[in-house]
Structure 1
Amino acid sequence: MLSDRLKDAIRTTYRQLAEALPGFVPRREQNFLVAEIAKTLSGDYERSRRILVAEAGTGIGKSLSYAQGAIPLARLQQKKLIISTATVALQEQLIHKDLPFFLRHSAVPFRFMLVKGRQRYCCEHLLEQAAMGDGGSNLEFAFEQLSTSRPSEDDKSLYKKLWDHYTAGKWDGDRDNWPSPIKDMAWERIAADRHTCNKALTHHQHCPFHRARDKMDESDVLVVNHALLLSDLTMGGGIILPPPDECFYVLDEAHHLPTVARDHGAAFIHLGGSRRWLEKLAQSAGKIGRALPGESLLDAQLKLQDALAAILPDLKATEQWIGQHPQLFGSERQHRFPDGDLPEPLPLLALNLRESSKQALRALDRLQGGVAEALREGDLKRRDAEPLLAEAGFFLQRLENFNQLWELMSREVAPGKTPLARWLSRTEDGQDVLVHASPIEVGYLLEEWLWSKCLGAVLVSATLTALSNFDYFRHQAGLKPHDGTRYLRLRSPFDYDKAELYLPKMRCEPNDPQFTQELIERLPGLLADQQASLVLFSSYRQMNEVAEGLRTHGLTLLVQGEASRSALLTLHRQRCDGGTPSVLLGTGSFSEGLDLPGHYLTNLIITKLPFAVPTSPVEEATAEWIEKRGGNPFLQVTVPEASRKLIQACGRLIRKEADAGRVTILDRRLVTKRYGKPLLDALPPFRRRIE
C-alpha cells in the first residue's frame, strides 16, 4: 500500500508544480498515470510483479508523470531509479529541462545524472602517455591492430591540447564535452575500456570514467539510453549500472526496447580478420608470459596457446568449406541458412570453436590478471605493464565477441522452440566473409535479464498498442498474459475534432507502377494554399522521384537527405515564421520524434501505409518461423508494425492543445482491404472524410 508519507510527497509536489507551470491545466489522464505508476511500483496490485505498461498519448506529460510517481517512491525506499530512453533528444530534455524543473518543486530532494558508456570517456593514463609521446607507452603498441594508421601530427597536437585542458580542470575527459568533434580514430587510442582502464590499478582510480561512476553512486536518478542498459544487462547486470534487484526502472520510448535487445543478443565476426588477429594473439601470449616474473602463470600461457592451436585449424576449415560452396551466395552478398540449420560440417566446427574460444578467454583473462597483479606488487614497472594490459584488453574484447558468435552458432534449439537466424555475408570488396547469428525473439531474454530481477518497471510510450491492443508489444517484450503485468492506455486529452482525416479517391494503389506518377499529379493540389506541409514516404527512391516531378511544377521543397535534418527543420520554421509556404518531404525517420507544433505543421500527407517488406535475414527468419507454425507473418507482424508506425506518423500533426489541420492518406488499401478497418480504427479520433 502507498504510505501516507509517499502520498503527501506526491500531492505536495503536484501542487507546487501546478503553481510553477504557466497556464497549468489539470489533466485527469496525467493524475491517473501518476497514481498507477506509484501504486504499481509500491506493490499495491502485485508484490512479486511490479510492472506497468502504459501508452500515454501526446499532451499527457509522460516525463513529469513518471517523475512524480517514481522518484519519491525510490527515494523513500532508498533505491535507485533508472530512466532509460531511446533517443538523445529525450535524454537532453530530461537532463536539461524536465528533471531540473521537477527538482526545484519536488517535496523530496534527489540527485540525478546522465550515465554514459565507458567509451565516451578518455583513460587518464592513456591520454597522458599519448600527450607526452612516451616511447614506451601504449601509444606505441602495435596500433596497426587497433586502427589503420599511427597517430598523425594533428592527433598528437590534439592529445597535448586535451591533456592540458584536462589537467587544468577545463575539461572532464568526457568526449561529448569537448567543444569540437573528435575523430573516431584519434579517440579510440585514448578511450577507456573495461579491460585496460581498471580501477583496481592505482594509476587508473581517478580516470574520468571512474570519477563519473563515483558520482553515479551518489546519485538517486540515473538517465541512460536503452543501448547502455542492455549492455549492462547482457553482462549479468550490476557491471555498469547498479544491480537490477536494487533498482526501479522507467523505460521511456519503450517500443524501441525489443529491437535494441535483439541487437545486443546478436553477434558477428569477420572470418579472415579473426584469423589474422588470432595469429597475432598467439605471438602476444608468449610475450606476456615472458614478461611475468617466475612461472606462476605458465599454465595459463600454455592453455591459451593450446586453445589458439585448436581454434585456427577449425577457423580455416570453415573458410575452406565456404570457399568450396560459392553457390551459397549466387548473385547475392549474403546467404541465410533456412530454419537456422547449419549444413555439415559446420555444426561440429561451431561447437569446437565455441569450446576452444571459451578456454582461450579464461586463459587470457588469467594472464591479464597476472600482469595487473605483478604491477600492483611492484614486480613489473608501469611502462612495461601498460602495453601488455592494453594488448591483452584488445584481444579480450575480440575473444568475447568471437566466443559469443560461436555460442550462438552452436546453440541447440529444442524442437518446437524459436530458432536462431544464422547467415553469411560477403564484404563489399568480396575479400572476406562475415558470420552472423541473432535471436529472432528476445522476449525471453528481457524476462531473464530484467523483468524477473528488477524491483519494478514502468514501460511508457505514446505508441505501445497496435490495432488497438497491447498483444503485439507484449509478445515482443516477453510479457505473458495474466503474469501480473498491468496495462494502461490513456488517450491524448487534445481535441482531435479540430483535425480532419482525409482519404481522397485515387486511381492507383501503391503496388501499381503508375502510383508514383499519380502522386506527382495529386500532391500540388493537396499542397496548394497550405502554409506548413509535411509529406511522408515509405522509400527514399519514391520520395526523390516525386520531388523531381513536383519541382517541374514549380514547387519549392525541403527534401530529406539534401541537407541535415536540423538544417531542414530550421529553414522550415524560418519560412513558416516569415509567412512563406513551406513543404517538407521525408521518409520514416521523420514520422517519429519530429515536433512541429502550431503553425509549423497544419497539412500532413502520408503517401503509403508503412508496410515493411522482410528483407533482413532476421526478418526473413521470423516470417519463415511463423509460416512453419501455420501462422501468417503479414497479419501477425507486418500489419501490427504498420499500425504502430501509422499512429506515430499521424501523431506529427497534433502536438499542442490548440493545434489543428488535416491528415491526408493516399493509400486506398485502408478502405479496400480487410485489414484496413482495424488500421483506420486504431488512429486518433480525427474527423473523417473518406471519398
Structure 2
Amino acid sequence: MIDPAALPSLHASHGGIWLREGGRTQAIAKGMAIARAAETPTLLLNAPLTGQRLGYPELNGLDLLELWAFVHPARFLVPTPKGLAEALGLERPATEDDIPQLLQNATAALLATLESPTWLEREGGWTSAQSLHRLRWPWAPLIAPRVARPAEAERWLFSRLPEWEETPPRPAPRTISLDEQAVLDQLTHLTGSGAEARPGQRAYAAAAVESFRPRKHRDQPNMLLAEAGTGIGKTLGYLAPASLWASQAQGTVWISTYTKALQRQLDRESLRLFPDPATAARRVVVRKGRENYLCLLNLEDALQGGFAGRAAILAQLVARWAAFSKDGDMIGGDLPGWLPTLFRRNGSTALTDRRGECIYAGCPHYRKCFIERSARASADADIVIANHALVMINAARGRETGQRPQRIIFDEGHHLFDAADSTFSVALSGQEAIELRRWVMGPEGNARGRRRGLAARLSDLASYDDEGGEAIRAAADAARALPADEWLKRIVAGEPFGPVEQLLAAVRGTVYARAADVGEADAGYGLETELAEPDGPLVEAAHEAALALDGLLRPLTRLAKRLEAVIEDAPDWLDGAARARIEGAIASFGWRRDLIAAWLALLARIGGPADGDFVDWMTVDRIEGREFDIGIHRHWLDPTRPLAETVLKPAQGVLVTSATLKGGGDWDNAESRSGATHLPQRAQQFEAHSPFDYAARAEVLIVTDIKRGDIAALSGAYGRLIEAAGGGTLGLFTAIRRLRAVHARIADRLARAGLPLYAQHVDPMDTGTLIDIFRDDPRASLLGTDALRDGVDVPGHSLRLVVMEGVPWSKPTVLHAARRLAGGGAAYDDRLIRARLAQAFGRLIRRAEDRGSFVILSAAMPSRLLSAFPPGTPIRRVTLDEAIIAVSAYSLAGAGLGDGMALGLQGIQSGTHDLERK
C-alpha cells in the first residue's frame, strides 16, 4: 500500500507556496507548483481554493476534504489546516510552511481510520470504495486496499434508510391559557437554576404569553411585536411559553427564521427542552422547502449512470452522506457546505427537487423520502423550525391545511417584509417559462436525465382514458409556444421563435432603448425600466403571448379535473402505482396553474390601466455584461397586505420578534413592516433593551478623510484597519465590484503579516463555510455583502471590528422608487438605512464580555441616521489615522491586555503613523 508520507503535499496562500517532498519542505514559485501538481498526485486541502491562489482554477489532486467526506460523512469540519488538525487530534501548524507536513500526517490518520475496528461510518464503505475505484477517483487506490470486504452483503443506502409510517391525523389543539408563573418556571428550567438572572429575559417570556392565549376575534390573532436587544436571550424567552403550550395543548408551534444560521442555532437549543437526542429529533423538527433536500430518485439516477466524470464522484460521496444524515438537508444541514464547491457545484443542484418534478407516491423511494419524512414528522412535533418563505408559501398555496400554522413565532422579524416581497411576487422570464415547458413536455431532442413530461408521468391515463389522453396531448402542443433551448441566443440574434420569445424580444428591445437614455446600457450590469407607456409592438407581443398561455392553461385545467374524477371513480385499471402517479400529478398541478394565471394577470396590465397595488417593470439580467435572462416582474407595493390575509389573519397567535424590529425607528415602522397595520386591531408591543454596556464596550468611528470612489484609498484603509485590529474584522460592502477590488489589493499584504483574508464572491466557498472559518480563527478577516450584514453570529474575540465601506444606501431600482414615493420619500430611505446600520452594528457585540469598534468609511454619514446605534454608544468623526489608533487600543483591550499596555501601544502606533506620513 502507498505510504502517505511518500506523497508530495502542497499548500498555497496569499503569503506563499510550499511543497513537501522527500522529507523536506521548500517554498516554490507558482509555475513550479502547477507543474508539480499536474505531474504527480499531490496532497491538497481545498483544491479549488488552492488552484485559485495559484492562478490555475482547474487544479486537481488528492484533496483531503474529499477524503474526509468519505471517511466521516455528515461530520462537521472547518476546512482549514487548523480545523483539520483539531478534528484529528493532531498538532496545529505553527507556521504556513508546517502545513504540507500536516497534510501528510492527516492523510495517514484518515487512512488509518479505515482499518480501525472502531470506524463508526464503516457501513457501506466497501461498496462506495469499489464504485469510486471504477470512477477513477484519485483517492480510490489508497482507500480500496484499506477497506475490508464485509463478510455479509452490506445494507447500503436505499435498504438502510428507515421508512416513515402513516399516522392518524392529529386532533386540534386544546384550548388553554398559560399560567405566567408556570412559564417563568419553565424558563428557569431551560436556563438552569444556577444561571445568571436576566430580568429582561423573564419580562420577555411573560410578555410572550400573550401570543398563546385563546383568540377572541375572527381575523385577529393574538399578535405581539417584541423588540429584544442583543443579549436579552429571546430564544429561550419564547421557547419557554412555546414548549409549555405545545405540551399542555397538544399542538404545534411554528418558529420561523430568515437565516439558516438561526435555524441551526434553534435546533441546538432544542436539546435544552429534550436532552435525549432521539426525543429531540421526534419532538423538534426542522422544515425547509423541497429544494433543500436530497431527492433519492435523482440520487439513484446519478448512481446508475446519470452523472459522469467529477459529478459522478460527487454523487457517490453524497450517497455516503445520505446514509448517515440526520434529515437529508443538503443546504444548511449536516452536508458539509464546502463539499459541492469542491466539484464546482457540478451536479449538486440536480440531486434536489429544484424543478418541482416530484412524483410523490409514485416514487419507489417514497416511504424513505427525506422530504415526506420531515413533513409527516412536523405534524406530530411540538416545535417546527421553519423559515419565513415556507410558512408563507404553505399558506398562500393552501397546502397542508391540516398543518396550517396556528401558533407562529417569527424570529428575525425585521425580515418579514422582504420575505413577503419575494413570496408574493411574480416573474414571467425566459428561465421560468422554459422550466414550465420542460415540466409539460419532458426531454426534447438529445436531452438526457430523469426529467419526464406529462405524457410519461401519466402514461396509464393517456392509454386508458381518452379524455385525459387528449388533454395531455393538447397541453404538450400548447407548451410549444413557450421558449425552448437556446432561446436567449435566438433573441439576441433577432430571430425569436414563438409568441413568448417574441414577447421577451420586445421586452429586451424596450429595456435597452430606455436604459440607453440614462447611460446605463454599457455599464455591464443588469438593466431595468418601468413598465409604463409601452409601445405598440410590446402591447401586441403581450397580447399574443397571453393567448398562448391561455391556450396552455385550458388543457391543464381540464386535465386536473379529469385526474380528480379518475381518482374518485377508481377504474379497474388503476392499480396502486398508477394511482400514486396520478396523485403526484394532482399535487403538482395546482401551483403551476396559479403561476400561469398570475402571468396572464401581469400581461393584461400591459397597455391597460395601471393597478396602484402593484409595481411592474421589465429587466435584462446580466453578469459582467453577459445576459442570462429577460423578464417582466410584478411585486406588491406593500407585500405585507397578502402576508396579513394569508398568514396572519388565519392564525391564532403570532409573535414577531427581533433585536432590531423597529429598525432604528418607532413602532409605526415595526407595524408597517410586519403586516400588523392590516389587522382589525393593533398588535401589542414589548421592548427590552440590550443589557450590554455599549458605552464601555463599543464605539462608532466615522472616518472623514477617505474620498468616495477612490479604490486605492479605500483598500489602504481596509488594510491598515485590519492590521490595527490584528484580524478579527468583518468588512461589509454594498457592491461586489468594490469588494473584489479591495480584496485583490490587500490580501497578499495581510497574508505576509500572518492575517488571513477571505471574501464572498472571491473565494470558491459557500457563505456558511466562510463564516465557520472566520469564527474559528481570531486572526482571520472576512469581506462580504448583505448576507454577512444580517446572518453572522460570531461572539468573542474572533469578531472585534466591523468596517463598512460607506452608508448602505438603497439601490435606485424601479421598485424602490415606487415604495419610496409611497412611503414618504427621504423618510422612507432613512428608515431602511437605520435598519441596515442597526443590523450591521449588531454583529459586533454578541456577549457581555465582547468589545470592538464599528467603522464607517464615509465623511457623508448624515447625523440623522446615528439613532440607529444603541443609546450611549460613543460616536466620533475622526481621520483614518485616529481611527487606527482607536481600533488598535480596543483590539488590545479585547484580547485581555491591561489599559496601561493598551495606552502605551497607542503611543507606539501613533508614532508609527507619524513616520508613515513623513
Q: TM-score, normalised by structure 2?
A: 0.60
> 1:40–1:46: 8 Å Cα contact kept in structure 2?
no
Query: Is the 1:39–1:45 contact (alpha carbons within 8 Å) kept by the matching residues of 2?
Result: no
CA distance in 2 between counterparts of 1:225 and 1:501 reads 33
Indicate the residue corresponding to 1:142 in structure 2. none
Identify if the C-alpha distance between structure 1 residues 540 and 46 changes in structure 2 by more than 3 Å, giving closer, same or farther: same
Give 2:501's aligned residue. 319
2:810 corresponds to 1:642: no
In 1, Cα distance between equivalents of 2:730 and 2:310: 43
* Distance change (3 Å), C-alpha of 1:310 and 1:195: closer
Contact 2:530 2:617 in 1 (8 A): yes
Can you list the C-alpha shifts for 1:546-593, whole angstroms capped at 9, x where unaligned?
Answer: 4555566976451414544566656656664xxxx6554444433333
Alignment partner of 2:228 out of 53, 56, 62 = 56
Change (3 A) 1:117 1:525: closer
* Whole-Å separation in 1 of the counterparts to 2:392 and 2:346: 23
Equivalent residue in structure 2 for 1:336, among 512, 529, 536: 529
Task: Give the stretch that moved more between structures: 350-359 or 567-576.
Answer: 567-576
Counterpart Cα distance in 1 of 2:454 and 2:782: 58
8 Å Cα contact 1:499-1:687 kept in structure 2? no
Determine if the alignment matches structure 1 residue 224 to structure 2 residue 386. Answer: yes
Q: Is 1:299 paired with 2:478?
A: no
AA at the equivalent of 2:836: K
d(CA) in 1 for partners of 2:695, 2:436: 63
Pairing of 1:55-94 with structure 2 (within 5 A): 55-94=227-266
1:520 and 2:716 are equivalent in the alignment: yes
Residues 213 and 502 of structure 1: is their aligned pair in 2 closer, same or farther, counting only changes over 3 Å?
A: closer
Q: CA deviation at 1:190?
A: 8.0
Task: Report the more deviating stretch, 297-306 or 493-502.
Answer: 297-306
Q: Are 1:499 and 2:697 matched, yes or no?
A: yes
The residue aligned with 1:464 is 661
Contact 2:254 2:407 (8 Å CA) reproduced: yes
Per-residue deviation, 1:94: 1.4
**CA separation of 1:125/1:45 partners in 2, compared to 1, >3 Å: closer, same or farther?**
closer
C-alpha spacing 1:115/1:451, structure 2 compared with 1 (3 Å) = same
1:261 paired with 2:455, answer: no
What residue identity is the alignment partner of 1:174? G
Unpaired runs of 5+ in structure 2? 1-174, 445-452, 484-497, 879-918
Where in structure 2 are the equivalents of 1:172-321 lying within 5 Å?
A: 174=328, 176=330, 185=347, 188=350, 196-199=358-361, 204=366, 207-238=369-400, 242-244=403-405, 247-266=406-425, 267-270=427-430, 273=434, 277=438, 280=441, 291-292=460-461, 297-303=465-471, 305=473, 316-320=498-502
Alignment equivalent of 2:284, drawn from 106, 112, 130: 112
2:866 to 679, 683, 687: 679
Q: Deviations over 1:311-343 (max 9, x none)?
A: 756982343355468354246464434359785
Work out the percentage of aligned pairs sharing the same amino acid.
20
- Paired AA for residue 688 in structure 2: L
Show the counterpart of 2:674: 477
Partner of 1:538: 734
Shift of 1:188: 4.3
Distance 2:847 2:580 in 1: 56
CA distance 1:420–1:354, shift in 2 (3 Å):
farther
Task: Give the match for residue 790 of structure 2.
Answer: 592
1:42 maps to amino acid: R
Q: How does 1:487-636 map to 2 (within 5 A)?
A: 487-503=685-701, 506-508=704-706, 512-514=708-710, 517=713, 520=716, 524=720, 527-528=723-724, 532-547=728-743, 550=746, 556=755, 558-561=757-760, 562-563=762-763, 564=765, 576=778, 583-614=781-812, 619-624=813-818, 626-627=820-821, 633-636=825-828
For residue 25 of structure 1, report the CA deviation from its aligned partner: 1.8
Match of 1:15 in 2: 188
From 197, 202, 211, give the equivalent of 1:40. 211
- The 3 A distance-change label for structure 1 pair 460 and 306 is same
CA positional deviation for 1:455:
0.9
1:667 to 858, 877, 880: 858
- Residue of structure 2 equivalent to 1:449: 646
Q: Which runs of 5+ in 1 are unaligned?
A: 134-138, 140-149
2:843 aligns with: 652
Q: Secondary structure at the match of 1:463?
A: coil
Q: Whole-Å Cα distance in 1 between the matches of residues 370 and 501 of structure 2?
A: 42
The match for 1:146 is none
SS state at 1:489 partner = strand
Distance 1:68 1:209 in 2: 28
Aligned equivalents of 1:476, 1:81: Cα separation in 2: 23
SS in 2 for 1:501: strand
- The change in CA–CA distance for 1:156 and 1:324 in structure 2 (over 3 A counts) is closer
Q: In structure 2, how many angstroms separate the alpha carbons of the residues matched to 1:34 and 1:513?
A: 48
SS of 1:457's partner is strand
CA–CA distance in structure 1, aligned partners of residues 859 and 396 of structure 2: 44
Q: 1:179–1:85: structure 2 CA closer, same or farther, 3 Å change rule?
A: closer
Does the residue aligned with 1:480 lie in a helix, a strand or coil? helix
Instruction: Report the AA paired with residue 607 of structure 1.
Output: E
Secondary structure of the structure 2 residue equivalent to 1:592: helix
Distance verdict in 2 for CA 1:586–1:336, change over 3 Å = closer
- The whole-number CA distance in structure 1 between the counterparts of 2:844 and 2:351 is 46
Asked if 1:26 is matched to 2:192, the reply is no
The answer to whether the Cα contact below 8 Å between 1:357 and 1:403 also exists between their aligned partners in 2 is no
Tell me how far 1:489 sits from its aligned partner. 2.5
- Alignment match of 2:547 (pick from 352, 366, 378): 352
Give the counterpart letter for 2:237 in structure 1.
S
Q: For 2:693 and 2:658, how far apart are their aligned partners in 1?
A: 20
Per chain length, whose mean CA-contact separation is higher, i.e. which structure has more relative contact order (CA < 8 Å, sep 6+)?
A: 1
Shift of 1:523: 6.2
Query: Contact between 2:187 and 2:237, CA under 8 Å: does it hold in 1?
Result: no
Post-superposition CA distance 1:116-172 (Å, at most 9, x none): 3344556667777887x6xxxxx9xxxxxxxxxx44488889989989998xx8678
Aligned with 1:409 (options 587, 592, 603): 603
Asked if the contact 1:532–1:600 (Cα under 8 Å) also holds between the matched residues in 2, the reply is yes
1:421–1:679 distance in 2 versus 1, CA, 3 Å: farther
**1:115 maps to amino acid:** R
TM-score (norm 1): 0.77
CA distance, structure 2, for counterparts of residue 121 and residue 574 of structure 1: 27
Within 5 A, what are the aligned runs for 1:107-146?
Answer: 111-121=283-293
Taking a change above 3 Å as real, the CA distance of residues 424 and 306 of structure 1, as seen in their structure-2 partners, is farther
Q: Which amino acid aligns with 2:430?
A: H
| Kept after mapping to 2: 8 A contact 1:361/1:400 | no
TM-superposed deviation, 1:250: 0.8
Matched residue type, 2:184:
R
Query: In structure 2, do the counterparts of structure 1 residues 66 and 307 end up closer, same or farther at CA, with 3 Å as the change threshold?
Result: same
CA shift at 1:34, angstroms? 0.6
Change (3 A) 1:458 1:385: closer
* Whole-angstrom distance in 1 between the partners of 2:309 and 2:577: 23
Q: How many residues align?
A: 645
- Of 573, 587, 591, the residue aligned with 1:379 is 573
